């Protein structure tokens, strides 16, 4: 079954998108609501709360047309080595205030932390859930072993990780674990943070593993060729086709588009209602297999973050 589409609100915080205009962020939320998107993903760190604020304010503004109980707001807590687990409840309440709501639907831990025991944090999140401050708990970017171990002890119902034509690593372990344990898999960066979209220049994206010189020199011409092929055999743009392909992959429940203005989102939502033609799907399967051969096997994520297991 095809995954549903959610709106990722990272760009609203402007950390990696300094040219993002608030007016565009606001219009993107409206466009999402009016096109039937009900899932919004943000994080405490996106613009130090700015993204939570813009998203929450706009969802609240339109609550008469789109009632809050029909909307899912997911946010993510950034835990650091210095986080006292007892501060988690305060962090959750801070997000709730910024989101202009009385509860968070899905509260995820954004990243694992080397040598830090997440269990006390998850205990606090359990308590927040029982109190009604959050509805569900999720993990993001955790390695497969940690996901399995923590999900066996705590009620984890969501996992958020990257998935795109350039990054299919979750197929190996994460998605099978999610299926096994009844955890929903939410795919982020379906266009590899924009590399598979319109712009061919990767300026400002040096945080991505794909842009390391020894990888990019092979990957860049492959992506250019892929974009030409899509234009030749399909009416979809490369961005539309690449995102639709992610939505059709087995084991993926939700795909977060990072469309950051109305035009981009309208294109994505239009494509999301179609099905990928078979020859294009087969071409993408092979293209993604070739891309994965370029990537180091021991990388856990597309940002090349590393941590030591606790
Ligand atoms: N849990 C985590 O650690 C984590 C990490 C990353 C993301 N996320 C979540 O996932 C969401 C999506 O991630 P992402 O922003 O990397 O998604 P993405 O969709 O892979 O990349 C977004 C970029 O794609 C380009 N784009 C979007 N729609 C397009 C269209 N119709 N045509 C051409 N290009 C298009 C835009 O590039 P331009 O900027 O060039 O316009 C946009 O900035 C984020 O907003 C966030 O909520 C979570």
Mean pLDDT along residues 148-155:
98
Mean pLDDT computed over 160-167: 98
Residue 56 has what pLDDT?
98
Pocket test for ligand 1, best of 31, 111, 161, 189 (most atoms within 8 A of CB): 189
Predicted pLDDT at 305: 84
Residues 124 and 147: their CA atoms lie apart, in Å, by 17
Question: 3-state SS of 81-113?
Answer: CCCCHHHHHHHHHHHHHHCCCCCEEEEEECCCC
What is the rounded average pLDDT for all residues in the chain? 96
Cβ of 13 closer than 6 Å to ligand 1, yes or no, is: no
Check pocket membership of 257 for ligand 1, CB cut-off 6 A.
Answer: yes
pLDDT of residue 128: 98
Q: In degrees, to the nearest 5, what angle opens at C-alpha 94 toward C-alphas 88 and 97? A: 145
Nearest Cα residue to atom 46 of ligand 1: 8
pLDDT for the residue 294: 96
Domain 4-293 adopts which CATH fold?
A: TIM Barrel (3.20.20)
- What is the per-residue pLDDT across 61-91, written as a single tens digit (0 to 9) for each? 999 999 999 999 999 999 999 999 999 999 9
> Using a 6 Å cutoff on CB, does residue 52 contact ligand 1?
no
The 10s digit of each residue's pLDDT in 200-217 is: 567 777 889 999 999 999
Please state, in angstroms and rounded to a whole number, the distance separating the CA atoms of residues 158 and 182. 9
Does residue 191 line the site of ligand 1, with CB under 6 A? yes
Q: Where are the domains of the chain?
A: 4-293
pLDDT for the residue 201: 62
- Burial-class residue 173 by CB neighbours within 10 Å (0-12, 13-18, 19+): middle
pLDDT in tens, 17-38: 999 999 999 999 999 999 999 9
Quick check: 153 pLDDT over 90?
Answer: yes
CA of 259 to the centre of ligand 1 (A): 6
Check pLDDT > 90 for residue 119: yes
Cα separation values, 296 from 87, 209, 210, 304, Å: 37, 10, 10, 10
Choice between 204 and 135, residue whose per-residue pLDDT is larger = 135
């Amino acid at each position: 079954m095809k995954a549903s589409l959610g709106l990722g609100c990272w760009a609203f915080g402007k950390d990696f998108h300094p040219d993002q205009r608030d007016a565009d962020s606001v219009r993107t939320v409206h466009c999402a609501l009016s096109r039937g998107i009900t899932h919004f993903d943000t994080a405490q760190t996106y613009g130090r709360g700015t993204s939570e604020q813009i998203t929450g304010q706009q969802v609240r503004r339109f609550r008469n047309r789109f009632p809050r109980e029909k909307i899912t707001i997911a946010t993510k807590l950034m835990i650091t080595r210095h986080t006292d687990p007892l501060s988690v409840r305060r962090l959750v309440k801070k997000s709730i205030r910024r989101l202009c709501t009385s509860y968070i639907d899905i509260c995820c831990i954004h990243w694992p932390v080397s040598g830090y025991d997440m269990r006390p944090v998850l205990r606090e999140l359990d308590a927040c859930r029982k109190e009604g401050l959050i509805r569900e708990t999720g993990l993001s970017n955790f390695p497969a072993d940690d996901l399995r171990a923590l999900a066996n002890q705590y009620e984890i119902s969501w996992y958020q990780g990257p998935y795109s034509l350039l990054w299919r690593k979750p197929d190996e372990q994460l998605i099978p674990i999610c299926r096994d344990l009844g955890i929903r898999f939410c795919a982020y960066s379906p266009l590899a943070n924009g590399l598979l979209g319109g712009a061919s220049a990767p300026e400002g994206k040096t945080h991505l593993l794909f842009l390391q010189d020894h990888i990019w020199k092979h990957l860049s011409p492959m992506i250019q060729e892929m974009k030409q092929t899509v234009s030749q055999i399909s009416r979809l743009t490369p961005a539309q086709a690449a995102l639709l392909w992610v939505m059709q992959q087995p084991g993926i429940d939700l795909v977060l588009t990072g469309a950051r203005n109305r035009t981009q989102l309208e294109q994505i939502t239009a494509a999301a209602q179609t099905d990928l033609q078979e020859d294009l799907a087969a071409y993408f399967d092979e293209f993604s297999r070739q891309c994965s051969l370029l990537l180091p096997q021991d990388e856990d994520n597309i940002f090349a973050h590393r941590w030591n297991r606790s």
